[in-house]
Amino acid sequence: MRATRATRALAAVYQARPDAALSEPEVETALAQAGVAVNKVTVYRMLDRFAAAGLLHKQVDAGRVTRYALAPQGEEGAAPRFECDDCHRQFRLSQGSAKVQKALQQVLQALATAGHESLAVDVAVHGRCADCAHPAEGAAA
């Protein structure tokens, strides 16, 4: 992948927010704030290139919005994520992830042993984020 200014800026956006699952408009805004003005087509092309390279994980949330999150690296596998049903923000769950992964590996192994192929797991926890569930407290704090 050629390290153009825009792709470096995109990498920096995700380095600054490693747990974020960003939509294209959010990425476009973040890049603009970083001083890199790129159009929608270019942002989508970069995101798809990052996804194809295995750096980003592409997912569609409950609101049918395509979001891109940092792909879990190495043994980590699919990190569980939390999605707020109100504002559709997504967070990767790092706490307790190892235990979930271990359990998932066992499930996958059992399925593979039974002859199933190309297995993928996408774990999503749905609920309301702290901001949506307690808006007043969030403002006070």
Give the residues lining the site for Zn ion (CB under 5 A): 84, 86-87, 129, 132
Considering beta carbons, is residue 24 or 131 the nearer one to Zn ion? 131
Beta carbon nearer to Zn ion, 77 or 81: 81
Please state the closest distance from residue 77 (CB atom) to Zn ion, in A: 26
Nearest to 35 by CA among 63, 11, 6, 65: 6
Residue 94 Cα to chain centre, angstroms: 12
Annotated binding site for Zn(2+): 84, 87, 129, 132
Collapse the DSSP code of 79 into the 3-class scheme (helix H, G, I; strand E, B; otherwise coil) and give the result.
Answer: coil
Nearer to Zn ion, 62 or 87 (CB): 87
Least distance from C-beta 56 to Zn ion, angstroms? 22
Provide the minimum distance between the beta carbon of 86 and Zn ion in the complex, in angstroms, as a whole number.
4
Instruction: In whole angstroms, give the CA distance from residue 111 to residue 43.
Output: 37
For Zn ion, the closer CB: 105 or 138: 138
Token pair, residue 82, equals: 């939390």
**Smallest distance from Zn ion to CB 89, Å:** 5
Element (H, E) at 58: strand 56-60
For residue 86, report the phi and psi dihedrals to the nearest 5 degrees. Answer: -85, -55
Cα–Cα distance measured from residue 38 to residue 32, given in angstroms and rounded to the nearest whole number = 7
Count other C-beta atoms under 10 Å from residue 9's C-beta.
19
